[in-house]
Every structure is written in C-alpha cells, then in structure tokens.
Amino acid sequence: MTSAQLEIQIIAALVAMACAIPGTFLVLRKMAMISDAISHSILPGLVLGFFITNDLNSPFLILLAAITGVVTVVLVEFIQKTGLVKEDTAIGLVFPALFSIGVILIAKNANDVHLDIDAVLLGELAFAPFDRLEVNAIDIGPKSLWVIGTILLTTISLLLLFFKELKLSTFDKGLATTLGFSPLLLHYGLMTVSSITVVGAFDAVGAILVVALIIAPAATAYLLTDSLKKMLLISCFLGVFSAISGYWMANFLDASIAGSMTTMLGIIFLIVYLFAPKRGVFSVIYKEKHQRIEVSLLVFLLHLQNHVEIEERHVDHLQKHINWGKVKSKTILDLAQKNNLIKLSGNIVNLTEKGTEFTEEALRYITTNKETAIEDLKAKFFLFRG
Amino acid sequence: MIQKKYAIQIDDLTVAYNYKPVLWDIDLLIPEGVLMAVVGPNGAGKSTLIKAILGIIKPIAGSVKIFGKPYKKQVNKVAYVPQKGSVDWDFPTTSLDVVMMGTYGSLGWIKRPGSKEKKQALEALEKVGMLEFKNRQISQLSGGQQQRIFLARALVQNASIYLMDEPFQGVDATTEKAIINILKELRKAGKTLVVVHHDLQTVPEYFDWVTFLNVKGIASGQVKEIFNDNNLTKTYGINYKVAINK
C-alpha cells in the first residue's frame, strides 16, 4: 500500500464519520432530504468562493458554501411557512434553483478553472493526495485531510457538548422549549454543521454521493439498536467500514472510489434491512408467522376448555371445526403437545393441567389487558414473547 | 393592597394560527393548589391554552404570568405533560432515559445528568409503577405505559405547576385510576395542576376546579359551584345531559 493509498483511505474514513454524525440526527428528525438540498445548493457558494480564492480547500470558500447551505434551509422553511406549498415541494423548488446557478457559473468559466461538473457530482478522491498542505515548506499531508479532520473534530466536540440538548430537541421539541432550551438555535446549529460537513466532504465524494454518506449509515444503524449513543457509534463504524472496503473495491474494479463506497453502503443497508435481528424483513416475517401460530394455538386451547363433549375434541373434528388447513392444525397439535399443554388419548384431545392454567392466564390477559399479566406469561410460557 | 396569590394569571390572551384566532381574549386566574380541569369541545383551544402558557406558541396579544412573573423567568417551576402523540415513540431510547429528560431543565446547557438525576428518575418511575420497564425501548410500551412515562418525566421536574394535555387519552381504567391518584397526591403537596380533560362525567370526582373554554373563556371556578347545566350548555351548545353522555 502506497502512502497515497493510505491517505485516500484516511480521508474517506474521516469524511464518512463526519457525515454519519449529523446524519443520525437528520434521519431521526425526518429531515434526511434536507441533506440532499444542502449538498446541491452549496454549489453557487462553492463556485463563487473558488473564483475568489482559487482553492477548493480554502476556509473562506468553505464558509461561503456553508452559508449557502444554511440559506437553503431558511428558504425552504420560509416557502413552507407560507402554507402555500408542502415541505418536500419547497425543497424541490429551492435546491435545483441554487444548483443551476452554480452549474451556469461553472459552464461560463469552465475553460480557466479546475472545477468541472463531473467532479461536482461525483467528487474525485483519487486526486486528494496531490494537493498538499505545506507549513514552512514542510509537507504535512494532503489539504483535504486537514480540512475534513478539522470539521470532524469540531463536529465531535459539539456533539459531546450538546448531546443532551440535541437528543431532547430531536425527541420532544415542545419539552425542549418549556425547559428553556432553544430548539431553534439547535436546529440551525445542526444545519450549519451539516452544511460545513457537506462542503468538506464535497471535494471527496461530490454532491450526489455525500447524501448517501449522510443518510445510509444512520438509516442502517437505526435498524440495529435502541439507543441513540449506540446508533451514533454504529453509524460512524458503518461509514468507516464502507469507506475502506469501498476503496479496495474501487481498486479491484478500477472504478470510482466514491461510487464504490456508496455501493458498499447500499449493500450493507440491504443486508441489515433483510437480516437485522429485531427489525429486519425476515425477522418481522418470522415473528408474524409465529404470532399467527400462537393465536391459533390459543383458539384451539380455548375451544378445548369450552367443550367437554367428546365429539368436539376429536382430532379430525378439530380440523374442520376451527377452520384450519391440514398442515397448520398438525403444527398446532405438535406445538401444544411439545409444551405439555394437551395430551392425546386415541384421537381425543385433552387439556393437561399446565394447559388449563395457561389457557386461564391467557384469557385473563385478554380480558383485563393488564400488562403485568402478560409479563408473567412471557416468562412462564413461550407464547407472547417478543 | 394585598393580592391573592395566583399560580397562573392570564390577561387578555389572544392566540391565532395564520391570523385565525383560536383563543379570543382569555382572562383566567388559576389559584395556587387547585386540581383544575380544562373542558370544552374539540377545537375549543384547550391544548393551545396550555401551549400558550408555556410559551410554545406565541400569543398575538395578552400576557401570561406564573407566580407574578413571565414564564421565561419561571421555567423550573412548570412541568408539562404533552399529548402522547406529540413525539415519535420509535426514537431509539429507553423509558429511564425519557424520564431523565425531565431533569435537563434544572441542569441547564451542557451539564450532563449524573447519578443524582438517575436516582430521581428511578424514584419517579417507581411512583408511576413503571420501574420494571426502565430499560424497555419506548416503542415496546403500551399506550398507558407511555402516558405514565410522560407523567414520571413531569414528576422529576419537581415543579410547582403541572400542565397536562389529555393525560387520560387512550389509557385503560387501571392506569387512569393510578394517574388520578398521583395528581391528587400532588395537589395535597400544594402543587397546582391544570389538566385538559375530555370525560365530563369524571370532572366532579377528579377535580376541584374547572375552566370552561370554547375559543372564549366561558367560566372558571370551583367545580361544586360552576359545574352546572348552564355553563355546559354555554360551552357545548347542547344540553348538559347530552354533553355529559357524549
């Protein structure tokens, strides 16, 4: 691995982390699409800054572009507040307008600046190691490494300082207001951090893919945890993992680094979406299937409890009486027997002592709907779990 | 001149959404230590009144004073129990963590909750009978349990005034009893409680003070004095028995 390769991976990892942190809050605030708006509409700010400074990593340019990002949010909110258009429409109106101004600015000056539409859309991480930062004529690494490193450090410090405030205002804006915190200030703080992060990441991954780095890790982490702290950590980890594995994938395929990173994010999301232990598609299907079986089992047990007549408790009769298909009634008979809830004498089904007790408890839960009763059931029997 | 002590004093309050008034020139005095129901039909502005007291909504006219001072100076004296639907229960957090949020007000900016705050939160959870669910993710709670979590969160604020927006909405009879017992205990401890309430039938049993509201203030006073046919008809526009059975 050459030092340029190492530098690219470090930059990619830092970009991914810097995006994942504000991304977590944007996803929880259901504002994911605002990152799309910001990433496009900073373009005119970026281009103007570039004309003035001639340096994509100049702090002045970053500031100017970040201001454009915040202006986007303000404009979207302003249009939305008039009540004449909805939020998604307002977003769709604002960012193409600003983006197109940027595109025209680039096109008009395309001949003499090093900034083209491809780079704007997709970024060019591979060139990052060529633009060095020198202090007293000593090379201290690629400029973009320093830029994104500074942004990430600032983001982490702000997160540590205002974690409590961000959590509260994201979960319950009303309470945040009444407790004397300013949700508005926090909102614009988050928007500013998001804008600066997008500008910092822009050079590396471009306007379209930066959205994936912001949203995908958070959306994936959301499916994996019940804690905000863990969600932040998992987001960052997934971002870094995709950055590095994406780099090697690009290396192997001889393809775009940013494109490969995003593809990795997509693959990871898909895997988690399908296989996440509690919220994944398969886990939900499995749970629903089991709940169906358990409800049928309960119906079956209640039927046994309600009928002493032999003919009502004959195995063959049960199948047509309770309206089950053959496979299902066998599943339920087996399940009940396995848990010692029933015993078969010939073809006649009888409730066991445990079966009677279980049925009574389940019935009590259904009629009283008391949570304590169900807690008992969960511990004692397999039913009602999860 | 000796002034009687009012927990909340509302003068000429008018609140509008998009220039359409939802509360019209409200004058309301809420004495300290009452357990008060705010009743009125849908769209009467009951929730808006609570939000205006808390400064969540800015009024276009009038003023609200908490113990004689503007709300901003009395933030720590007021606790708020919002409607359950006002937050996203899929948020990645636990019961205990939500209750801890009640301590953030006294902590102020930046300072983080420590073991003292955790202890307060656990005590509040125990009071509402939710201690065993402290580590449960909040989406895994039933509606009644979520309401109790909100109540516990208000309890840790240890405020003088509690403003509650329909705390009995969607809870079962047992939870309703449990909540009202806690409210009565708070009143005994000298707290002032303002509760947006829907079930007219239970007003005389639960509350000692009542405010009738329908965009304008209709009447406010002791339940045994003003909870009558006349005021109910004025508020709901239909006769008392119909209103009560609704």
User: For position A386, what pLDDT does the model report?
Assistant: 43
Please tell me the least confidently modeled range out of A36-40, A188-192, B15-19, B106-110.
B15-19
Query: What string of H, E and C letters represents the secondary structure of A67-125?
Result: HHHHHHHHHHHHHHHCCCCCHHHHHHHHHHHHHHHHHHHHHHCCCCCCCCHHHHHHCCH
Give A385 or A246, the one with higher predicted confidence: A246
| Structure-model confidence comparison of residues A329 and A242, the more confident one | A242
Query: Which pLDDT score, from 0 to 100, does residue A288 have?
Result: 82
For the residues A256-262, what does the mean pLDDT come to?
Answer: 89
Residue B91: give the domain boundaries: 34-44+77-236
Say which of A180, A231, A375 has its CB closest to residue B75: A180
CB contact under 8 A, B75 and A178: yes
Cβ separation A226–B137 shorter than 8 A: yes
Task: Please count the CA atoms within 13 angstroms of the CA of A229 that sit on its side-chain side.
Answer: 6
Angle in degrees, CA A284, A288, A290, rounded to 5: 120
**B-chain residues within 8 Å CB-CB of A177?**
54-56
pLDDT beyond 90 at A321: no
Return the pLDDT at B11. Answer: 92
List Cβ neighbours of A82 (8 Å cut-off, separation of 6 or more): none
Start-end ranges of CATH 1.10.10 in chain A? 282-381
Give the per-residue pLDDT at B131: 92
Q: Determine, for residues A371 and B55 on separate chains, whether the beta-carbon distance falls below 8 Å.
A: no
Return left, alpha or beta for B69; rule: phi > 0 is left, psi -120 to 50 is alpha, else beta.
beta
Per cent of chain A over pLDDT 90 is: 44
* Record: contact B87-A172, CB cut-off 8 A: yes
Residue B55, pLDDT score: 87
Average pLDDT, chain A: 85
Q: What's the confidence (pLDDT) of residue B162?
A: 94
Distances (CA, A) of A22 to A32, A176, A236, A332: 10, 19, 10, 49
CA–CA separation, B143 and A298 (whole Å): 24
Residue B71 lies in a domain: no
Per-residue pLDDT band for A327 (boundaries 50, 70, 90) equals low
Residue B16 lies in a domain: no
CA distance A339 to chain B (A): 27
The Cα A285–Cα B51 span in angstroms is 42
Query: Do residues A23 and A97 lie in contact, with contact meaning Cβ atoms separated by under 8 Å?
Result: no
Cβ contact B105–A180 (<8 Å): yes
The DSSP bridge pattern shows strands A342-345 and B192-196 to be unpaired
| pLDDT tens digits, one per residue of B156-201 | 998 999 999 999 887 888 888 889 999 999 999 999 999 999 888 8
Interface of A with B (CB under 8 A): 28, 30, 83, 161-165, 167-168, 170-172, 174-175, 177-181, 222, 225-228, 230-231, 369-371, 375
How far apart CA B233 and CA B239 sit, in angstroms, is: 5
pLDDT attached to residue B219: 87
Q: What is the ipTM of this complex?
A: 0.87
Place B245 in a pLDDT band, splitting at 50, 70 and 90. low
Are the beta carbons of A369 and B104 separated by less than 8 Å? no
Q: Checking DSSP bridges between strand B35-39 and strand B192-196, what pairing results, if any?
A: parallel
Q: Are A172 and B101 in contact (CB under 8 A)?
A: yes
B104, B110, B132: residue with CB nearest A168: B104
Q: How far is CA A109 from CA A51, A61, A105, A240, A302, in A?
A: 9, 17, 6, 36, 80
Asked whether residue B140 is assigned to any structural domain, the reply reads yes
CATH topology of domain A282-381: Arc Repressor Mutant, subunit A (1.10.10)
Q: How confident is the model over B48-53, as a mean pLDDT?
A: 93
Residue A375 has pLDDT above 70, yes or no: no
The reported pLDDT for the residue numbered A293 is 78
Give the range among A71-75, A152-156, A160-164, A314-318 with minimum mean pLDDT. Answer: A314-318
A181–B142: do the CB atoms touch at under 8 Å?
no
Interface size, chain A vs chain B, as Cβ–Cβ contacts under 8 Å? 82
For residue B73, the SS3 value is helix
Please, what is the average pLDDT of chain B?
A: 88
Judge contact between B81 and B163, C-beta under 8 A.
yes
pLDDT digits (tens, 9 = 90+) for A363-374: 777 776 555 555
Rounded to whole angstroms, the Cα distance separating A316 from A205 reads 66
- Which of A96-100, A285-289, A328-332 shows the highest mean pLDDT? A96-100
- Name every chain A residue with its beta carbon within 8 A of the beta carbon of B56: 174, 177-178
Statement: residue A322 has pLDDT above 70: no
The predicted-structure confidence for A122-178, as pLDDT tens digits, reads as follows 777 877 888 788 888 888 888 889 989 999 999 999 999 999 999 999 999 989 988
- The amino acid present at A328, given as its one-letter code, is K
Nearest chain A residue to B107 by CA distance is: A179
Chain B residues closer than 8 Å to A284 by CB:
none
pLDDT of residue B100 exceeding 50, the answer is yes
Domain-located, residue B182? yes
**How many other CB atoms sit within 10 Å of the CB of residue B64?**
19
What does the alpha-carbon distance between residue A299 and residue A322 come to, in Å, rounded to a whole number? 8
Scan for tokens 């998009």, then name that residue.
Answer: B18
Between β-strands A342-345 and B69-70, what pairing exists: parallel, antiparallel or unpaired? unpaired
**For the residues B94-105, what does the mean pLDDT come to?**
94
b/e A196-217 (16+ beta carbons within 10 angstroms → b):
bbbbbbbbbbbbbbbbbbbbbb
By residue count, chain B amounts to 246
The answer to whether the CB atoms of B92 and A83 lie below 8 A apart is no
Torsion of CA A230, A233, A237, A239, to 10 degrees: 110
Q: What is the helix (H) or strand (E) element at residue A224, kind and residue range? A: none
- Pick from A178, A370, A375: CB nearest B56: A178
Residue B242 clears pLDDT 60, i.e. is over it: no
Which residue among A163, A177, A225 sits closest to B92, beta carbon to beta carbon? A225
Does position B244 have pLDDT exceeding 70, yes or no? Answer: no
Q: How many domains does chain B have?
A: 1
Between A31-35, A287-291, B192-196, the lowest mean confidence (pLDDT) is in A287-291
- A80-130 tens-digit pLDDT: 988 889 888 999 999 999 999 988 888 887 666 666 666 777 777 877 888
Q: Which pLDDT score, from 0 to 100, does residue B1 have?
A: 42
The candidate with the shortest Cα–Cα distance to B157, out of A187, A172, A183, is A172
Q: Do β-strands A342-345 and A138-142 pair in parallel, antiparallel, or remain unpaired?
A: unpaired
- Looking at residue A291, its pLDDT comes to 76
> Which pLDDT does position A115 carry in this prediction?
65
The nearest alpha carbon in chain A to B145 belongs to A371
Mean pLDDT of B31-44: 91
3-state secondary structure (DSSP) of residue B198: coil
C-alpha–C-alpha distance, residues A44 and A302, integer Å = 70
Residue B84: pLDDT band with limits 50, 70, 90: confident
Convert the pLDDT of each residue in A331-347 to its tens digit: 778 888 887 888 888 77
State the nearest Cα–Cα gap between A226 and chain B, in angstroms: 4
Using the predicted structure, report yes or no on whether residue B89 has a pLDDT greater than 70. Answer: yes
Q: Which pair of tokens denotes residue B60?
A: 């276009």
Task: Show residues of chain A in contact with B86, CB under 8 Å.
Answer: 172, 174
Residue B27 is assigned to a structural domain of this protein: no
Give B94's contacts in chain A (Cβ within 8 Å).
226-227
User: What does CATH list as the number for A3-276?
Assistant: 1.10.3470.10
Are A268 and A242 a contacting pair, CB within 8 Å? yes
Within-domain flag for B13: no
Banded model confidence at residue B79, pLDDT cuts 50, 70, 90: very high
Instruction: With beta carbons less than 8 A apart as the criterion, state whether B207 and B198 touch.
Output: no
Which of the two residues, B168 and A241, has the higher pLDDT score? Answer: A241
Kindly report the CATH number assigned to the domain that includes residue B208. 3.40.50.300
In angstroms, the separation between the Cα of residue B174 and the nearest Cα of chain A is 8
Which residues of A are less than 8 Å from B98 in CB distance?
A: 171
What confidence score (pLDDT) does residue A161 get? 96
- Average pLDDT in the B95-109 region? 92
Overall average pLDDT of the A17-26 stretch: 96
pLDDT at A376: 58
- Name the strand (E) or helix (H) holding A342: strand A342-345
The conformation of residue B94, written as its DSSP 8-state character, comes to B
A271 to chain B, minimum CA–CA distance in Å? 20
In a domain, B142, yes or no: yes
CB pair distance less than 8 Å for B91 and A370: no
Q: Is residue A26 within 8 Å of residue A34, measured between CB atoms?
A: yes
Tell me the average pLDDT across A311-325: 71
Residue A155 tokens read as 């983001």
How many angstroms separate the first and last alpha carbons of chain A? 48
Report the residue count for chain A: 386
pLDDT score of A342? 85
